[in-house]
Structures are given as C-alpha cells and as structure tokens.
Amino acid sequence: MKTREVKFKVTRHEWWFPVYEVPAHLTDEEALELVQEERPDEVYDEYHNQDTYDQDCWSELKTDGAYQVTGKYRTHHNQFGVGTLNDFHLEVRADDIESARKIAVDKITSDGRRHVDSVCDIEISLRKEAQEEAA
C-alpha cells in the first residue's frame, strides 16, 4: 500500500483548579502574587491536580501554504443607487484555512479602487498542484 506523510498542527489548552494554602491576612491579589513567585508544584504541576485537570485538543492539517480562494464582493452603490456583485479568484499563502480567508478578504477590501461593501460566498481549497504533490 502506498503511503504519504502529512503534517498536522496540534493545539491543546489545559486547565486545572488547584487549592493552595496561603496566610489568611493576604488579599486575593497578594495570594496570587505569592503563588506566582513561589511556583509550587501543588499549583503548577498538572500531575498533582489530576482530579481537576481537563483539556481541549484540536488538530488541523498543515499544507505548503498555497490556497485557492474564490468568492464574491459587492461594491458601493453609485450615484444611481446601483452596486455591483463581482467574482474574485486569488491564490494566497497562509498557514491554515482561516488565515487564508482573512488574507483574501483583506486583499479584496483594502484595494482602494474597488470600494467594497461586503465579501461573500467564499470558498477555499488547497492549491491543485499542492494536492498532487502530496499524493
């Protein structure tokens, strides 16, 4: 069976809720400052806090960064109250799909010649050559 390597980005956010004894006379801010200075394992080591430990984890496919972005943009209304709906097609380089979307929208809306009101119907796909290279 033919195989190929794919690169992923895995992101994890962790949290836990430790309990730590501090002198009773300290305010909340002072208690926080004390714990941040001392950095006790009972607070900062997740192994010591397994009973309250939780996490969110997600992954996304990493590509060579080349995306085809297509969509439509609406221009400002002219003196007759008419705006136009135009197609666009861009190739952008980005780390992920959401970044590619943002870059494309920024390119379309920041071009002063277009006078863009809105961008819609955005479709994003990996550049065809990059898909073939990965296969």
Strand ordering across the sheet containing 66-75: 85-93, 66-75, 116-126
Write the pLDDT tens digit of every residue in 70-119.
888 887 766 666 667 788 888 888 877 888 888 888 888 887 666 777 78
pTM above 0.75, yes or no: no
**DSSP alpha helices (H): ranges in the chain?**
28-38, 41-44, 97-110, 128-134
Quote the pLDDT of residue 81: 64
Task: Tally Cβ neighbours within 10 Å of residue 104.
Answer: 24
Written as six digits, the tokens of 23 are 């002198």
**DSSP alpha helices (H): ranges in 18-80?**
28-38, 41-44
Quote the pLDDT of residue 80: 65
> What single letter denotes the amino acid at residue 17?
F
Residue reference for tokens 């305010």: 27
**Angle at Cα 117 formed by Cα 111 and Cα 110, nearest 5°?**
20
| Residue ranges of domains in the chain | 7-59, 64-134
Whether residue 108 contacts residue 121, with contact meaning beta carbons closer than 8 Å, is answered with no
Quote the pLDDT of residue 64: 63
